[in-house]
Amino acid sequence: MNVITQSEFDNFAVVNGCRQCPTGDYTLIKRFGNYCSFGHYCRFGHGCELGTYCSFGNGCRFGTGCEFGTECRFGNECSFGNYCRFGTGCEFGTECEFGNYCRFGTGCSFENLTFVPDERIYFVRINNIGSRVDGCTIYNAIDGLHVRCGCFFGTADEFIHAVKMAHSGTLHAKTYALAIELARAQFDVTSECGGGK
């Protein structure tokens, strides 16, 4: 795999505001600017893992199968492909999106929520639903389920109320409600009084 130098990285083409970063070994790069787009199976840091304390700007996109080490920091609206793996203590900004089967180490922080300890799955994401034909991410937090759907972020009950106000009686209201029920079943949560089993 081609090892990318800092000078090569700095000279990658920028298309529609995104720096185009081909598949390669980014071990030598310590900082990445906003809106980078990385190819599938990129390597970041020693041993195919992103080095400690590396920082990515807003809007970065990562392909399938990327691996990231401990305490990495990612800006707002980063997008990660399927099967990405993240080490302990990673931090993610608001509106980050994660593909299917992403795995996260202990101590990861999402949306400033505290998660049920020792749970294998911290969130579920349902794609291609609702008025925007987009995804809903439902988090299993200590204080109950929380939802990120487009610009909305709040508890599951607040989300259902907002949906009723905007989409009462429509297919969108039904699919959003079913998404919440699926998450409650997945996490074995029967009410908003707490997350987990």
What is the per-residue pLDDT across 144-174, written as a single tens digit (0 to 9) for each? 999 988 888 899 999 999 999 999 999 999 9
Q: What integer pLDDT is reported at residue 38 of this predicted model?
A: 66
20 and 84 housed in the same domain: yes
What is the spatial distance between Cα 141 and Cα 123, in angstroms, rounded to a whole number?
Answer: 9
Q: What integer pLDDT is reported at residue 133 of this predicted model?
A: 85
What is the spatial distance between Cα 112 and Cα 162, in angstroms, rounded to a whole number?
Answer: 21
Q: What integer pLDDT is reported at residue 59 of this predicted model?
A: 62
| Residue 42 to residues 22, 59, 72, 159, Cα–Cα distance (Å) | 8, 17, 16, 36
Q: Which of 63, 80, 110 is the last residue before a domain boundary?
A: 110
Residue pair 102/85 in contact by the 8 Å Cβ criterion = yes
Q: What integer pLDDT is reported at residue 105 of this predicted model?
A: 72
Residue 116 maps to a domain: no
68 and 158 housed in the same domain: no
Q: Which of 82, 110, 138 is the last residue before a domain boundary?
A: 110
Residue pair 79/35 in contact by the 8 Å Cβ criterion = no
Q: What integer pLDDT is reported at residue 87 of this predicted model?
A: 74
64 and 135 housed in the same domain: no
92 and 22 housed in the same domain: yes
Q: What integer pLDDT is reported at residue 122 of this predicted model?
A: 77
In 3D, which of 77, 28, 71, 30 has the Cα closest to residue 52? Answer: 71
Residue 90 maps to a domain: yes
What is the spatial distance between Cα 1 and Cα 25, in angstroms, rounded to a whole number?
Answer: 6
Residue 115 maps to a domain: no
85 and 21 housed in the same domain: yes
129 and 67 housed in the same domain: no
Q: What integer pLDDT is reported at residue 47 of this predicted model?
A: 34
Number of domains the chain is built from: 2
* Enclosing domain of residue 167: 123-187
Residues of the chain with pLDDT under 50: 45-52, 192-197
52 and 19 housed in the same domain: yes
Residue 193 maps to a domain: no
- Torsion sign (Cα): 109, 114, 118, 121: negative
Residue 174, amino acid = K
133 and 102 housed in the same domain: no
106 and 141 housed in the same domain: no
Q: What integer pLDDT is reported at residue 176 of this predicted model?
A: 95
